[in-house]
């Protein structure tokens, strides 16, 4: 059976099992993530994934929210990061 066929037959029960296992293990296998991702059009499965993502975040950092002030001290424009978040890097 192909991966696409597996995606189409992923039931809500199977999705809940994958999500619960990911929370217990602290990781989600790529194939399981792909199977869940292909079924996010199902509102029940999407809700399961969103609830699990929130629970995973809470386990990792609690309900703490951090804020970064956009304060840049331009010591150099030779930043090697290419994230395009700021304008310090010269391309």
4 or 35: which leads in pLDDT = 35
Phi-psi sector, 62: left (phi>0), alpha (psi -120 to 50), beta: left
Task: Provide the pLDDT for residue 46.
Answer: 96
* Residues 40 and 49: beta-carbon distance below 8 Å: yes
Specify the pLDDT at position 1. Answer: 44
Q: Are 88 and 77 spatial neighbours (Cβ–Cβ below 8 Å)?
A: yes
pLDDT in tens, 17-56: 999 999 999 999 999 999 999 999 999 999 999 999 999 9
Report the mean per-residue pLDDT for the chain: 82
pTM: predicted TM-score of the whole model, two decimal places: 0.63
How far apart CA 50 and CA 88 sit, in angstroms, is 35
Q: Residue 68: what pLDDT?
A: 73
**Residue with the two structure tokens 């199902």:** 42
Give yes or no for a contact between 18 and 35, defined as CB atoms under 8 angstroms apart: yes
């Amino acid at each position: 059976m192909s991966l696409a066929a597996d995606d189409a037959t992923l039931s809500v029960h199977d999705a809940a099992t994958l999500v619960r296992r990911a929370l217990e293990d602290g990781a989600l296998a790529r194939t399981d993530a792909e199977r869940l991702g292909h079924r996010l059009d199902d509102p029940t499965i999407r809700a399961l994934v969103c609830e699990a993502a929130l629970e995973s975040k809470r386990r990792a950092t609690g309900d703490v929210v951090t804020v970064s002030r956009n304060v840049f001290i331009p010591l150099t424009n030779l930043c090697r990061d290419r994230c395009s978040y700021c304008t310090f890097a010269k391309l």
